[in-house]
């Protein structure tokens, strides 16, 4: 999945988070003006730990109107955001990955959801849901093989 862009900054013509470079070694961001935004605080949001960064240079920055409507441009980073960064790097290296995904696995999930009537799993707790999902996938695979090979060759293959 590509990273989502939820900030209104781009629509307002201001710098987006993509304009800032994260440096894992120093746990800080380099901003478009070349200043360093360091980690200042952390908060818990929806059971996620979010680190917040800003630069002391913001109040006197000549680019501030391109960056923030406030006194400081604050950047928020999920504690495990490096996982998302790595995923985005892989996607950037394979620009057709989303197209391949749409052509290969997405229709399968659409079929499963249609079978379920676009509702929730019937079971609860992870092991039971995993079993329910496995049965759905098995049924889908069986139907696909029957469609491609036919029932008789499938039965012969199972018996062999
Ligand atoms: S406002 Fe702050 S974060 Fe934005 S470019 Fe200026 S110094 Fe960097």
For residue 79, the 8-state DSSP code is: T
Which residue lies with its CA nearest to atom 2 of ligand 1?
Answer: 58
* Percent residues over pLDDT 90 in the chain: 69
35 lines ligand 1 (CB under 6 A): yes
Q: For residue range 141-156, what is the model confidence (pLDDT) as tens digits?
A: 999 999 999 999 999 9
64 lines ligand 1 (CB under 6 A): yes
CA 76 vs CA 47, 97, 151, 159: distances in Å: 15, 27, 55, 57
112 lines ligand 1 (CB under 6 A): no
What is the band of 10 on the pLDDT scale with cuts at 50, 70, 90?
confident
**Among the atoms of ligand 1, which is closest to the Cα of residue 73?**
3
Q: For residue range 24-73, what is the model confidence (pLDDT) as tens digits?
A: 999 999 999 999 999 999 999 999 999 999 999 999 999 999 999 999 99
Count of C-beta atoms within a 10 Å radius of residue 28: 19
pTM for this model (two decimals): 0.68
Question: What ranges in 3-125 are assigned the alpha helix state H?
Answer: 81-93, 97-104, 106-115
Which residue lies with its CA nearest to atom 5 of ligand 1?
Answer: 33
Residues 6+ apart with CB under 8 A from 33: 57, 61, 62, 63, 67
* Percent residues over pLDDT 70 in the chain: 96
CB 72 within 8 A of CB 60: no
68 lines ligand 1 (CB under 6 A): yes
CB 85 within 8 A of CB 59: no
Q: Which of 79, 17, 70 is nearest to 42 (CA)?
A: 79
What's the pLDDT at 12?
A: 82
- Dist CA 22 CA 121 (whole Å): 39
Query: Three-state SS for 102?
Result: helix
């Amino acid at each position: 999945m590509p990273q989502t862009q939820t900030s209104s900054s781009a629509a307002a013509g201001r710098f987006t988070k993509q304009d800032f470079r994260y440096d894992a070694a120093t746990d800080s961001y380099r901003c478009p003006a070349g200043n360093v935004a360091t980690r200042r605080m952390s908060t818990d949001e929806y059971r996620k730990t979010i680190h917040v960064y800003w630069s002391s240079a913001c109040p006197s920055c000549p680019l501030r109107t391109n960056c923030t409507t406030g006194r400081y441009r604050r950047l928020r980073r999920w504690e495990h955001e490096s996982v998302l960064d790595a995923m985005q790097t892989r996607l950037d290296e394979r620009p057709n990955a989303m197209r391949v995904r749409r052509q290969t696995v997405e229709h399968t999930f659409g079929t499963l959801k249609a079978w379920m009537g676009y509702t929730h799993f019937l079971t609860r707790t992870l092991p039971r849901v995993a079993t329910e999902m496995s049965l759905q996938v098995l049924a889908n695979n069986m139907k696909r093989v029957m469609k491609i090979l036919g029932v008789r060759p499938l039965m012969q293959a199972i018996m062999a």
